[in-house]
Amino acid sequence: MSTGLILAIESSCDETAAALVERGARTRASVVASQIPTHARYGGVVPELASREHLRAVVPVVRAALAEAGVGFQDLDAIAVTSGPGLAGALLVGISYAKALAMAIEKPLIAINHLEGHIHAVLLHEREAALAARQPDPADEPALALVVSGGHTHLYLAQPANGAWRYKLVGRTLDDAAGEAYDKVAKLLGLGYPGGPWIDVLSRFGNAKAVPFTFAQIKTKLHLAGKAPRTKAARTAPIATLNPHFLFSFSGIKTAVLRHVELNGMRAAAEARAPLTLANPKPPQTREAALELCPQPVLDLVASFQHAVVGDLMKKTFAAAEALGAKRILVTGGVAANRELRERLTAEATRRGIRAAFPATALSTDNAAMIGAAAWPRFVAGEFAGPDLSADPALALGV
């Protein structure tokens, strides 16, 4: 009898990952090779370098995953791979490898949308916990999913449909993704890369009320009607079709931080800090260490920035949950690792009688276990990819 063992491969951005997941519920191995050191000095992902690093890493990462699980190619039931959205060259490395392997070992190939993968990181976690507690599968019920990462800030209504899942886009960012704003603000302040974990840790030592950042109410302007959003993220329905209360915009706060930095003479110190943080890739964990790196006004600034971003993510997510009658919220993607977002969103959900679920921290950022989990319902439904599978850098999820 088949064990429902799927080898999943993820290479859409700056992590080469492979995982072995059984029946979408049990992670036998999950290996992630991060390219952070390669891109850190540029303060962002360099696509050409990413493809080169994926080429180097894909074979060793798959081998490491197989070894960790103690299985061989003959034990696999299928191979799953991220087909988009993401960087074209990066996606192609994973896809080419997965296609060749599927052909060689004569196993089906399953194409997975990276965003669907992020949603399944939470579902995997729930199923895994139920399995460990010897409890039945948690009942699959409709959920509002906030996918918040370096490339996306999207709200989806996720609904189970005969074992598979269907998604409807209900909100999104008009410009930058939340994680992108974190990364840009960190770069501006001379903090390490990626910026999210740095700002998350440093915020603990700052006064979140020091700088009053606000988010303007977004109105669907006539000139946006039918236009694609100004982002590199997945293709979606025209913005004018979405409820303006569920739209995000993070480029304004980035500009407000820049203005604050310039008006308060913080620029020179930020530039001097950059080489320092490159040499010390981990954010400082104590107040003393944080103050050695940056003065109190910078700690106050990052705390205020984070407070505002988290507040805005919550406001629109809860507005959508309420309007759609969702009793369950799934928060996923790199920014879901954020401590303040986890704490405040969970507290507010409890107050409203809504269940909020986050993936384990390691599954918040890019990984392949989430791709293996998303592949399971497709495997069961026999939704396989053909030999012509190619990368789709702007692949949309749902409609």
Give the binding range for ligand KG4 (CB under 6 A) out of 127-135, 191-199, 270-278, 322-330.
191-199
Other beta carbons less than 10 A from residue 152's beta carbon: 26
Q: At what angle do helices 178-188 and 251-263 cross, to 10 degrees?
A: 10
Q: Quick check: 194 binds ligand KG4 (CB under 6 A)?
A: yes
Of 152 and 184, which has the nearer Cβ to Zn ion? Answer: 152
Q: Quick check: 84 binds ligand KG4 (CB under 6 A)?
A: no
Selected binder of Zn ion within 35, 82, 83, 149 (CB under 5 A): 149
* CA neighbor of 172 nearest in space, from 246, 100, 223, 114: 246
List CB contacts of 389: < 8 A, sequence separation 6 or more.
81, 83, 95, 99, 109, 111
Work out how close the CB of 32 gets to ligand KG4 at its nearest, in angstroms, rounded to a whole number: 9
Give the binding range for ligand KG4 (CB under 6 A) out of 188-196, 244-252, 311-319, 378-386.
188-196
Six-digit token string for 347: 């507290």
Q: Is the previous residue joined to 229 through a cis bond, with omega within 30 degrees of 0?
A: no
Of 176 and 366, which has the nearer Cβ to Zn ion? Answer: 366
Residue 282: exposure state from Cβ atoms within 10 A (0-12, 13-18, ≥19): exposed
Six-digit token string for 339: 């401590």
Question: What percentage of the chain's residues is helix, strand, coil (to nearest 5)?
Answer: 50, 20, 35
Q: Quick check: 53 binds ligand KG4 (CB under 6 A)?
A: no
Q: Quick check: 366 binds Zn ion (CB under 5 A)?
A: yes
Give the binding range for ligand KG4 (CB under 6 A) out of 134-142, 244-252, 294-302, 332-340.
332-340
Backbone angles phi, psi at 247, to 5 degrees: -100, 145
Q: Quick check: 367 binds Zn ion (CB under 5 A)?
A: no
- Contact between 236 and 396 (Cβ < 8 Å): yes
**Strand pairing report for 143-148 and 153-161:** antiparallel
- Contact between 186 and 194 (Cβ < 8 Å): yes
Work out how close the CB of 365 gets to ligand KG4 at its nearest, in angstroms, rounded to a whole number: 3
Selected binder of ligand KG4 within 365, 374, 375, 392 (CB under 6 A): 365
- Contact between 53 and 45 (Cβ < 8 Å): no
Selected binder of ligand KG4 within 24, 84, 196, 206 (CB under 6 A): 196
Q: Quick check: 58 binds ligand KG4 (CB under 6 A)?
A: no
Instruction: Report the C-alpha gap between 366 and 83 in whole angstroms.
Output: 14
**Strand pairing report for 78-84 and 109-113:** parallel
Of 2 and 285, which has the nearer Cβ to ligand KG4? Answer: 285
Give the binding range for Zn ion (CB under 5 A) out of 79-87, 155-163, 363-371, 384-392.
363-371
Size of the site for Zn ion (CB under 5 A): 2
The residue with tokens 């997941």 is 21
Of 43 and 194, which has the nearer Cβ to ligand KG4? Answer: 194
Instruction: Report the C-alpha gap between 236 and 246 in whole angstroms.
Output: 14
Of 43 and 86, which has the nearer Cβ to Zn ion? Answer: 86
Q: Quick check: 142 binds ligand KG4 (CB under 6 A)?
A: no
Q: Is the previous residue joined to 238 through a cis bond, with omega within 30 degrees of 0?
A: no
Six-digit token string for 183: 């990364």
Interaction partner, residue 179 (ligand KG4, Zn ion, none; CB < 5-8 Å by kind): ligand KG4
Give the binding range for ligand KG4 (CB under 6 A) out of 147-155, 253-261, 343-351, 371-379.
147-155
- Contact between 70 and 376 (Cβ < 8 Å): no
Work out how close the CB of 366 gets to Zn ion at its nearest, in angstroms, rounded to a whole number: 4
Q: Quick check: 337 binds ligand KG4 (CB under 6 A)?
A: yes
Interaction partner, residue 196 (ligand KG4, Zn ion, none; CB < 5-8 Å by kind): ligand KG4
Work out how close the CB of 225 gets to ligand KG4 at its nearest, in angstroms, rounded to a whole number: 28
Q: Quick check: 94 binds ligand KG4 (CB under 6 A)?
A: no
Secondary structure of residue 189 in the 3-state scheme: coil
10 beta partners = 17
Give the binding range for Zn ion (CB under 5 A) out of 28-36, 180-188, 292-300, 366-374.
366-374
Of 220 and 346, which has the nearer Cβ to ligand KG4? Answer: 346
18 beta partners = 9, 31
Of 108 and 194, which has the nearer Cβ to ligand KG4? Answer: 194
Footprint on this chain of ligand KG4 (rule: CB under 6 A):
13, 149-151, 179, 182-183, 194-197, 200, 333-335, 337-338, 365-366
Footprint on this chain of Zn ion (rule: CB under 5 A):
149, 366
